[in-house]
């Protein structure tokens, strides 16, 4: 059995736990081709969220941001990563993990 420390999996688990702590109900979104880590719902707010330790590599950036390509812009799309650089686009908001863990709610950022 491989006992290697899985940084990416642990990072997603931390994001999951923080979202639960913030009061969000969570689901996984899968359209047959792409999977989005979390659909976070609280009240009438809904967010599509990808969690990645880093999106600095082109391949990872394309995978994480590309997961949102088939979604319309009715709900906010968010990537949470440990990167210091702001990778936000016109349709996807990037939140640094350091900022995320100090938030009370996603709408407060």
Identify the bridge partners of residue 42 per DSSP, sorted by sequence position.
45
Is there a domain that residue 1 lies in? no
Helix (H) / strand (E) element for 85: namely none
Look at residue 33 and tell me whether its pLDDT is greater than 90: no
CA distance 12 to 70: 22
Domain that holds residue 78: 7-108
CA distance 56 to 75: 25
CATH number of the domain that residue 60 is part of: 3.40.1350
For the stretch 46-86, pLDDT in tens is 999 999 999 999 999 999 999 999 898 888 999 999 999 99
Is there a domain that residue 52 lies in? yes
Look at residue 102 and tell me whether its pLDDT is greater than 70: yes
């Amino acid at each position: 059995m491989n006992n290697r420390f899985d940084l990416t999996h642990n990072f997603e688990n931390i994001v999951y736990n923080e979202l639960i702590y913030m009061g969000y109900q969570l689901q996984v979104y899968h359209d047959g081709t792409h999977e989005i880590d979390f659909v976070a719902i609280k009240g009438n707010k809904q967010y599509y969220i990808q969690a990645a330790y880093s999106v600095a590599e082109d391949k990872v950036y394309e995978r994480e941001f590309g997961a949102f390509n088939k979604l319309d812009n009715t709900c906010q799309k968010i990537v949470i990563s440990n990167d210091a650089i702001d990778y936000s686009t016109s349709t996807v908001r990037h939140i640094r993990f350091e900022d995320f863990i100090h938030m009370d709610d996603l709408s407060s950022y």
